[in-house]
Amino acid sequence: MLSSSSFLHPSFCHLAIVKSKNFSRSPIVCLSQDGNTIEPIKKQNKEGNSNTVTQEKVHLPKSQIPQKKDEKPPPLVSALKTLAEQNAASFHFPGHNRGRAAPSSLTRLIGVKPFLHDLPELPELDNLFSPEGPILDAQQEAAKLFGALETWFLVGGTTCGIQAAIMATCSPGDVLILPRNSHLSAVSAMVLSGAVPKYIIPEYDVEWDIAAGVEMAIQELKMEGRKPAAVFVTSPTYHGICSNLREISQLCHSHGVPLIVDEAHGAHLGFHPQMPDSALQQGTDLAVQSTHKVLCSLTQSSMLHMSGNLVDREKICQCLQMLQSTSPSYLLLSSLDAARHQLSENPEAIFDEALQMALDAKNTIRGLPGISVLDSLSFPKFPAVDPLRLTIGFGWLGLSGYEADEILYEDHEIICELVGTSSITFAFNLGASREHVDRLVSGVKHVVSSAASTQGAVARVDHSISAPFADFETSLIPRDAFFASKRRVSIENSLGEVCGELICPYPPGIPVMIPGETITERALDYLLDARKKGAMISRASDPQLSTIVVCNK
Ligand SMILES: Cc1ncc(COP(=O)(O)O)c(C=O)c1O
């Protein structure tokens, strides 16, 4: 069997062509009548017949643990509870009036309680933008746990935190150093701030060294008599690959430049000896975490943490006020408080079980013929891979990630986080169960045996597609391109034009074309190939890619 590193096409780490389950599949579990268990619901197969995959009830002991006697309740959760218990004559928003007029189609699904607690900015619930009460307490508790000087709760996801972080550090015309394969929220942040990108190019080999790229970019700017306003790095990546942030932050600080880390996938880091340190532990100035990804808050809720004294906190506050809704959801905010509280109860041991399950799964799956598992050995220049992320390669079985995913979903009802051309990524979390892990292991064994029984299976490790932006050229900065006048041209006539829109397969949301870049043959080939393979091309105004919006010259 080939080693995982020889199997892994390096682009697999930086830009997978992906097709997310989330776009096409409905939830597969629902709450039981008693509200204490989740039950499988009937699943429709392709022919429209329904069949139930498993009949057993899955108990959720972790979410049902009663509060201990002298336990201090999370401040915002507690305030929400008190307010929801009022017998108030309410003449305020939202119009469902504490659930009294909630639409029954939804209350039949989730009950009335989410509506009862969906309250507006009542004085007792504090104000997100000038917190003095329970929100301030909750944010301070979070700052203490995550090791920040200050923490802000976000209701617009990490996207909004990244936008605020870049806007707060980069004024129009200021230079931002960032890898070209950053999440698309960094691009929208540059449109908003008017920052000038100085990209470090992710070379598609395992020797890629981000710290060296940052150093080189700083030196090049120095020779031009310029200094970057900030450096932006993503760690861990969607596949869990962590950068050496300690080295990068030392480098940035030696030049007096703040480091912003997109830690969307790493809110759990630093809480267990088997885990890599968090961005803050490694000296980052601003870290933005999707608490909703690996930790247990509601989707869309994130946290922005600040450390050190290089960033102006007032500017962060102003940017967040500008970017977030004036009606932030208290369900989202209190879910952040609750997720922090859940973690703080037992931070050293809370991940023990999930880590053990992930390790067991990796060890078993790694031993299967034709299968590879992404690990630190695959990326020697990177110090760690998140132990809760499992990426399995199927290329040597002659299967694409999509084909393997189809088998795992159709035959075993296993839903992954990310599908790539030759791999699939699974996210382990605090809700992982032995039953599900066993199902994953037997599902992968089934994929192996199906492939082995297929006559003439040929290893399909895709080396044909080279990095889509190895030769990109920026003609306009993202902000100027965003506001430029535009026209639509056919794809055949787009070569050499300045791209007027952001185009990327999503997830992982890494743009292949950024507004303002000259359209290259390589980028077009990459996108057309991705589309042919079934990837969803998002953000493009014509997702079929027959036409592209370009900037007028
Ligand atoms: C690396 C990365 N950064 C940022 C984001 C944006 O996070 P959010 O969905 O919380 O806005 C994502 C989302 O998938 C991501 O993968």
Q: What are the tens digits of pLDDT across the range 1-16?
A: 223 333 233 333 333 4
Q: Give pLDDT, residue 72.
A: 77
Least confident range of 431-440, 455-464, 497-506, 529-538: 455-464
Residue bearing the bigger pLDDT, 191 or 65:
191
- Does residue 336's CB lie within 6 angstroms of at least one atom of ligand 1? no
Label the pairing between strands 389-393 and 423-427.
antiparallel
Q: Give pLDDT, residue 210.
A: 77
Distances (CA, A) of 394 to 29, 149, 548: 28, 44, 33
Q: How far apart are CA 61 and CA 353, in angstroms?
A: 14
Q: Residue whose CA is closest, atom 14 of ligand 1? A: 508
- The count of other CB atoms within 10 Å of the CB of residue 132 is 9
Nearest atom in ligand 1 to 302's CA:
10
Task: Choose which residue among 14, 183, 242, 260 to substitute to test ligand 1 binding: the one with the highest number of ligand atoms within 8 A of its C-beta.
Answer: 183
Label the pairing between strands 175-179 and 230-234.
parallel
pTM score of the predicted model: 0.88
Label the pairing between strands 423-427 and 418-419.
antiparallel
Q: Are 202 and 180 in contact (CB under 8 A)?
A: yes
The SS3 of residue 389 is: strand
Under the banding of pLDDT at 50, 70 and 90, the label for residue 452 is confident
Burial environment of residue 209 by CB neighbours within 10 A (0 to 12, 13 to 18, 19 or more): middle
Section 380-390 average pLDDT:
90
Q: How far is the CA of 293 from the centre of ligand 1 (A)?
A: 9
Q: How far apart are CA 4 and CA 423, in angstroms?
A: 11
CATH code assigned to 126-345: 3.40.640.10
% of the chain exceeding 90 in pLDDT: 69
The DSSP annotation for 35-91 comes to SSEEEEPPEE-TTS-EE-S----EE-HHHHPPPPTTPPPPHHHHHHHHHHT------
Residues near 170 by Cβ (< 8 Å), separated by ≥ 6? 176, 190, 193, 194, 195, 229, 230
- Does residue 266's CB lie within 6 angstroms of at least one atom of ligand 1? no
Q: Residue whose CA is closest, atom 7 of ligand 1? A: 158
Q: Give pLDDT, residue 323.
A: 98
Q: How far apart are CA 330 and CA 342, in angstroms?
A: 18
The SS3 of residue 29 is: strand
Q: How far is the CA of 371 from the centre of ligand 1 (A)?
A: 28
Q: Are 389 and 236 in contact (CB under 8 A)?
A: yes
Judge whether residue 45 has pLDDT over 50: no
Label the pairing between strands 259-262 and 230-234.
parallel
Q: Residue whose CA is closest, atom 12 of ligand 1? A: 264
- Does residue 161's CB lie within 6 angstroms of at least one atom of ligand 1? no
Judge whether residue 138 has pLDDT over 90: yes
Judge whether residue 191 has pLDDT over 90: yes
- Does residue 240's CB lie within 6 angstroms of at least one atom of ligand 1? no
Q: Among 116, 147, 425, 142, which residue's Cα sits nearest to residue 302?
A: 142
Section 77-81 average pLDDT:
98
Section 441-453 average pLDDT:
91
Q: How far apart are CA 170 and CA 508, in angstroms?
A: 25
Is 478-551 in the same CATH topology as 4-42+351-453? no
Identify residue 87 by its one-letter amino acid code.
Answer: N
Q: How far is the CA of 525 from the centre of ligand 1 (A)?
A: 26
Identify residue 350 by its one-letter amino acid code.
Answer: I
- Give me the residue spans of the domains in the chain: 4-42+351-453, 126-345, 478-551
Under the banding of pLDDT at 50, 70 and 90, the label for residue 543 is confident
Under the banding of pLDDT at 50, 70 and 90, the label for residue 400 is confident
Judge whether residue 31 has pLDDT over 60: no
Angle at alpha carbon of residue 516, lines to 514 and 518, rounded to 5°:
90
Q: Give pLDDT, residue 63.
A: 63
Q: How far apart are CA 265 and CA 263, in angstroms?
A: 5
Judge whether residue 257 has pLDDT over 80: yes
Q: Among 537, 415, 439, which residue's Cα sits nearest to residue 22?
A: 415
Q: Are 512 and 505 in contact (CB under 8 A)?
A: yes
Superfamily of domain 4-42+351-453: Aspartate Aminotransferase, domain 1 (3.90.1150.10)
Q: Give pLDDT, residue 203.
A: 56
Q: How far is the CA of 158 from the centre of ligand 1 (A)?
A: 6
Q: Among 417, 464, 414, 544, which residue's Cα sits nearest to residue 18?
A: 417
Section 142-159 average pLDDT:
98
Q: Residue whose CA is closest, atom 9 of ligand 1? A: 157
Q: Give pLDDT, residue 58.
A: 45
Q: Are 546 and 490 in contact (CB under 8 A)?
A: yes
Q: What is the pLDDT of residues 480-517, one digit of tens each?
A: 999 999 999 999 999 999 999 999 876 567 788 999 99
Residues near 71 by Cβ (< 8 Å), separated by ≥ 6? none
Q: Among 379, 420, 430, 363, which residue's Cα sits nearest to residue 15?
A: 420
478-551: CATH topology: Molybdopterin biosynthesis moea protein, domain 2 (3.90.105)
Whether omega for the bond prior to residue 123 falls within 30 degrees of 0, making it cis, is no
The DSSP annotation for 140-164 comes to HHHHHHHT-SEEEEESSHHHHHHHH
Nearest atom in ligand 1 to 159's CA:
11
Q: Are 175 and 221 in contact (CB under 8 A)?
A: yes
- Does residue 330's CB lie within 6 angstroms of at least one atom of ligand 1? no
Q: How far apart are CA 258 and CA 90, in angstroms?
A: 47
Which tokens belong to 459?
A: 């290893």
Least confident range of 44-58, 185-199, 307-321, 363-377: 44-58
Section 155-179 average pLDDT:
98
Burial environment of residue 522 by CB neighbours within 10 A (0 to 12, 13 to 18, 19 or more): middle
Label the pairing between strands 302-306 and 175-179.
unpaired
% of the chain exceeding 70 in pLDDT: 82
Instruction: Give all strands of the β-sheet with 423-427 in edge-to-edge order.
Output: 372-373, 389-393, 423-427, 418-419
- Does residue 405's CB lie within 6 angstroms of at least one atom of ligand 1? no
Q: How far is the CA of 160 from the centre of ligand 1 (A)?
A: 10
Judge whether residue 445 has pLDDT over 60: yes
Q: Give pLDDT, residue 204.
A: 53
Q: Give pLDDT, residue 472.
A: 79
The SS3 of residue 499 is: strand
- Does residue 179's CB lie within 6 angstroms of at least one atom of ligand 1? no
Least confident range of 120-124, 319-323, 544-548: 544-548
Task: Choose which residue among 21, 158, 242, 297 to substitute to test ligand 1 binding: the one with the highest number of ligand atoms within 8 A of its C-beta.
Answer: 158
Q: How far is the CA of 436 from the centre of ligand 1 (A)?
A: 25
Residue bearing the bigger pLDDT, 404 or 473:
404
Under the banding of pLDDT at 50, 70 and 90, the label for residue 539 is confident
Nearest atom in ligand 1 to 237's CA:
1
Judge whether residue 265 has pLDDT over 70: yes
Backbone angles phi, psi at 491, to 5 degrees: -60, -35
Judge whether residue 548 has pLDDT over 80: yes
- Does residue 421's CB lie within 6 angstroms of at least one atom of ligand 1? no
Q: Give pLDDT, residue 460.
A: 54
Q: What is the pLDDT of residues 305-343, one digit of tens each?
A: 999 999 999 999 999 999 999 999 999 999 999 999 999
- Does residue 511's CB lie within 6 angstroms of at least one atom of ligand 1? no
User: What is the SS3 assignment for 225-264?
Assistant: CCCCCEEEEECCCCCCEECCHHHHHHHHHHCCCCEEEECC
- Does residue 386's CB lie within 6 angstroms of at least one atom of ligand 1? no
- Does residue 375's CB lie within 6 angstroms of at least one atom of ligand 1? no
